[in-house]
Amino acid sequence: MDPVSRVRDFLLDNVGHMTYPGNPCFDARAQRWLVPICCRTEGGALVVGEVELDRDGHIIFAPSREELNARLAAKSNAALP
């Protein structure tokens, strides 16, 4: 399965519609796909995490909804003047 489609489905099922997958990259040494997790905000898109998939598209690691919310809050607060 395409890593972007897999991550998109995971995010819709587990996080919500305000997140979407970014551009994937393949780590040839580790044989893993790394797909950034982007979040739509009023100020634009922010990268709040990353999903790791094996070469066959199975999710190896994904941050929890709570982790993503905490990262978004931290990044949003850091952007305030």
The pLDDT tens digits for 6-50 are 999 999 998 888 899 999 999 999 999 999 999 988 888 889 999
Q: Is 44 or 77 the better-scoring residue by pLDDT?
A: 44
Of the pLDDT bands very low, low, confident and very high (cuts 50, 70, 90), residue 78 is low
Instruction: Domain ranges for the chain, please list them.
Output: 3-79
**Total-model pTM:** 0.86
Q: How far is CA 80 from CA 28, 55, 75, 77, in A?
A: 38, 39, 9, 5
